Amino acid sequence: MARILLTDDDNALRAVLREILVHFGHTVIEARNGTEGLALFQQAPADLLITDIVMPEKDGIEVLMAIRDTHPPLKIIAISGAGPHGGGDYLALARLMSAAKVLQKPFSADALMAAINDLLPGGV
């Protein structure tokens, strides 16, 4: 299956998402913020990045920009629940920055897996 880099500063949400992804056979590398996520990606690139947008140190938009500079074909799912419209403004910006999929928090495991399956046909 896929090697997925999961970047989110919410420890509880990251743990739940990790469990879902591992349940479906994926390998998960976790980062607590954008700085850590980019460092982990440089050490061992992933097949897919799932990143929160609003995080300390480097936010998800900065992560998207950095990844696009070095690995343009990487599939990215942006997630957010912050902002004046529940994260919609941030997610619209993430889509403009070439996130392949965006998910508004809270989202279901089915929605997450559907997004992954759309981006990684055959599970990589």
- Tell me the whole-structure pTM to 2 decimals: 0.92
The residues pairing with 4 across neighbouring beta strands, listed in sequence order, are: 28, 48
pLDDT in tens, 16-72: 999 999 999 999 999 999 999 999 999 999 999 999 999 999 999 999 999 999 999
Domains recognised in the chain with CATH numbers: 3-85+99-113 (3.40.50.2300)
Query: Could you give the angle at which helices 34-43 and 60-70 cross, rounded to 10 degrees?
Result: 20
Cα–Cα distance for residue pair 13/69, rounded to 1 Å: 28
Residue 88's pLDDT band, with cuts at 50, 70 and 90, is: low
